Amino acid sequence: MQAWNKISRMPAAAISKMQDELLQKMVTEQFALRHPYYRNMFKEKGINAAEIKGVSDLSKIPFTEKKDMLAPPGEPLYPKQFVLDPPAEAEVKEKKKGFSLFGKKDSGEDQAKYKFASLYFTAGRTAKAVPIEYTGYDIENLKEAGARAFDILELTREDTLINAFSYAPNAYFWQMFYSTLDIGSTALQTGGGRVLGMEKILKAVDNLEAPVLAAAPGYARFALQTLDYFGLSAANLERIIIGIDFTPLAVVESIKNLMESVGTKNNIVQRIYFNSEAKSGMAECEPGFGYHLNPDHLLVEIVDPESGALLGEGEPGEIVITNLDARGTALLRFKTGDIATGGLVTEPCPNCKRTVPRIMGDIERKEHILGLQGKTGAVTLNGNQLRRMMFAREDVLVWFAEINKSGAEDALRVVLKNVSGTDEGTVLKAVEESLKAEYQLPVTVEAGSLDAVANKIGLEKAITEQNIFDNREK
């Protein structure tokens, strides 16, 4: 990865030229030469790597999907097909015979870039978790990506930060860990609810007088709504960084309002888009101005989710990624299943003036758009919109929804625990009316205990909470 102060102010034409060069180099020197899966694909499909001279040639290469990475039964090492092979011994020896700039011998450092360092996994929210190998080179890139995200978020070493992302072998937790370590800020790596637990995390926010909390959006909302229950204060809290899970702008506003209601010092909420396969997270300078990409590390395309056709600037579509500077696990034209509601733009950010490409709008999951059977025919239930509606309600503490078969049609059942101080019956009625108006399906809304609902969604146990359960026969 290159110098951020240069990359972040580079003209769009220069960024495009740089990405063409990086892509050509990555395809010819890595994917076609050292990557078992793509090397075989190129051979089977008759793809000439030399003909991939830039981004405009990517359409010659098929997409990769999550199903392609899943290990078949009895083949646990199959994901190794997506890991770059190190240089052969003969190749390294040949390099050492030559001389590089200023007459210094080539030390063969490239081989070290392929040495395994750590194994992380995808979150496994909608499919089986897939291993993602990181080399020492990838870890350094993850640190750099974290430093860039902190620069975009305007976090410094003076900011005491409570990292409430779940401790797990994934890039989400570790990028935040490395970021705080890199800038030298005071930080408590709590491991989230599954390690330290909500009460102790809130005590840390109170006792350390921490101005910054990083957490999944649902966990952040729950933390603010239970401060009073634990008799604790967040008077010095100024901002919350949300990521990992669905983080629509409606949730940003909800959290800002909650921060104000509990008396925090300020109510700044910012978002980071994490993607395991991208091997890094991307931050927004301010909500709504887009997730700022690292164009020397990652190439993003926005395509039609069904046809795969490349879409224009600002058009909503599926995010497709290509690693431009990775070792270990590396992916080419990987369909993430994430939908960018505002597409991709390359114009400079009107807020921070950085010139890197930005993913705009909310990030929705394609798998959460469900085809259901209504009374009069097919009905589409956008689970992303359901979550958006429920998370935006400040009278609902925790909730989950089930999709069940009800005779010849499908039905929606919602179970929730209302916020203390609100009238349970009033909340249930309001939620039911809003859902019936949104969806042409039978809807029932019921009250549940805090423990039952929290356990169901994995609030203190899972990496991210799961709110929607499809109980229909597959």
pTM: 0.92
Nearest to 174 by CA among 125, 217, 126, 138: 138
Q: What pLDDT is attached to residue 124?
A: 67
pLDDT along the chain (474 residues), means of 10: 90 97 96 97 96 95 95 93 87 51 46 92 76 95 95 95 92 91 92 92 95 94 92 96 91 94 96 94 97 97 96 97 97 97 98 98 92 86 93 92 89 95 96 92 95 93 89 79
* CA-closest candidate to residue 468, choices 421, 417, 416, 403: 403
pLDDT of res. 90: 56
Contacts of 275 (CB under 8 A, 6+ apart): 281, 319, 321, 336, 338
Domains of the chain by residue range: 367-470
The C-alpha atoms of residue 85 and residue 65 are separated, in whole angstroms, by 21
pLDDT computed for residue 373 by the predictor? 87
Residue 106 is predicted with a pLDDT of 42
Q: Which CA distances in Å does 308 have to 304, 313, 334, 384, 432?
A: 5, 15, 11, 21, 37
CATH annotation of 367-470: 3.30.300.30
Q: 320, 293, 336, 363: which is closest to 130 by C-alpha?
A: 336
3-class DSSP state for residue 89? helix
pLDDT digits (tens, 9 = 90+) for 345-364: 999 999 999 999 999 999 99
